[in-house]
Amino acid sequence: MAMRPRVAVRQWRWARRAVQALSLLAFTLLVLWTARDVPGPLGAEGLLRLDPLAGAAAMLSLRRWLPAFIPALILLALTLALGRFWCGWLCPLGTLVDWSAPRDGRARTIPRRWHGLKYGLLLLTLVGALFGSLTLLALDPLTIFVRTVTTWLAPGANWLVTQAQIGLYRVGPLEGLADALDGALRPLVLSYKQAHYQGLLPIAGLFLGILALNRLAPRAWCRILCPLGGLLSLAAKGSWLKRKVGDGCVSCGACARDCRMGTIDPARDYASDSGECILCLDCAVACPRGAITFGPNWRYDADWEYDPIRRQALGMLGLGVAGAALAQVLPERAQPHPYRLRPPGAQEEALLRACLRCGICLRACPTHGLQPSLHEAGIMGLWTPILAPRLGHCEYSCNACGAACPTGAIPPLALAEKQRAAIGKAYVAHDLCLAWTGRAPCIVCEEMCPLPEKAIVLETVAVHDAAQGARTLQAPVVLHERCIGCGLCENRCPVQGEAAIRVRVDPLT
């Protein structure tokens, strides 16, 4: 694959940019299409199957082989052949990092030893997985991308489109355009219901922080911190396809100045580490003599100052063990948070061992009731899914979350089995309930209960209200042996703020 003519190199670079744009569009659509009427491989699950770090960490944590990640092994094998092409050509987060880089595109000087930080994060992630914690997968670029599109970009786009439609409906002749816009985007891409996600600020802050790192240096995230980049870098060091500097080099330094990964070293006759090269081709375009080519070279790139050494590996191993021990003795491990409501069929320890923190289940949930957890599950369960009924209930006729989960952290229950799986139990707060306090007649929760044999029944009670005196009203009573904790009653409760009926963890389990 020699590419000496500069015209040919420019064509390859334009091809890379086109592939980047098409890949970003395709991967975004995969996330948006993650719904209960779209098969898994055509949703975000198909994107996560390409992630070798997520696959390796999940298999370490679960202690078993996961066939769903065979595409990730294929990607790793291709990296051994072609180098770190994923980062430069296909990675959606890498593409956004490229597009948000300063216009000059020049590589700023940062200590090259910082490049080794990503290897430390990679090792910490794998050590954590060995001890049953996948918390650090929150820093995997594909989980960041899926989570950001799910919780921020898609809801934001949904709100903007809705506002545009409202504006169009106000102009009579444009009502047809508003209807066409709605028909084109909903329900396949956007939602009829506006989603609201808790913990949005830290999720958006992580994404924006990665883009802001470009001010430190182009592709600073990819150079320094990306744990998936660290794994692919180790594989790419032994790749077959490598950058070469020919005899025509006149040491002008143009390639080093234009290298967005900062890996071209003038002190080594402008050689580069193939583990850091993302095959962007900028150096070949910048070279005035056509001295840079790409071709076969089986040597393993080693002896770079940031390469992981045994002492650092042992230090990261010790840090990972200490972190795992600390996470296990935090107080939230002793007692569950009362509102840590897991998806149907999910068991706490099994979920923590298998959940990638990707947010696919959040996107699949048609009511947007599944939310990324914050304090409810502690640091071990950061951004794992919980049900927040006030934001959206668990739809009785839906089992999309289990079908979409790539690792089985949420079991793929058949619909009949899911309809029997209790998430929690509903409890009526008598001091808030409109009926029990005598403030107004209300039977909404009983009407909303979706079970064939309702878990909420009505009881005639004598109440006293200062304004209306003594009277009798029908008030709700929960039959806990029937309740599955779907949260529809809490979601539809007309009491403002905290609902008068709330689903909590079953105190008897």
Residue 106: pLDDT band (50, 70, 90) is low
Residue 3: pLDDT band (50, 70, 90) is very low
Could you read off the pLDDT of 427-474 as tens digits, one per residue? 999 999 999 998 889 999 999 999 999 999 999 988 877 667 778 899
pLDDT, mean of residues 395-402: 94
Could you read off the pLDDT of 5-57 as tens digits, one per residue? 567 888 888 999 999 999 999 999 999 888 655 555 667 888 999 999 999 99
CA distances from 307 to 88, 121, 139, 310, 378 (A): 21, 13, 21, 10, 34
Does the structure show a pLDDT above 60 at 4?
no
First vs last C-alpha separation in the chain: 62
SS3 463: strand
Run of H or E residues at 320: helix 310-328
| Residue-level pLDDT at 466 | 66
User: What is the DSSP pairing of strand 370-372 with strand 385-387?
Assistant: antiparallel
CB-neighbour burial class of residue 303 (10 A; exposed 0-12, middle 13-18, buried 19+): exposed
The C-alpha atoms of residue 435 and residue 459 are separated, in whole angstroms, by: 10
Does the structure show a pLDDT above 70 at 359?
yes
Could you read off the pLDDT of 482-502 as tens digits, one per residue? 999 999 999 999 999 999 999
For a pLDDT cut of 90, what percent of the chain falls above it?
A: 69
Domains in the chain, CATH or no CATH each: 6-147+202-296 (no CATH), 422-509 (3.30.70.20)
Does the structure show a pLDDT above 60 at 130?
yes
Could you read off the pLDDT of 220-258 as tens digits, one per residue? 999 999 999 999 999 999 999 999 999 889 999 999 998
Query: pTM, whole model, 2 decimals?
Result: 0.92
Q: What is the token pair recorded at 477?
A: 């009573």
Q: What angle separates helix 117-130 from helix 227-236, to the nearest 10 degrees?
A: 110
| Residue-level pLDDT at 80 | 95
Could you read off the pLDDT of 131-152 as tens digits, one per residue? 989 999 999 999 999 999 999 9
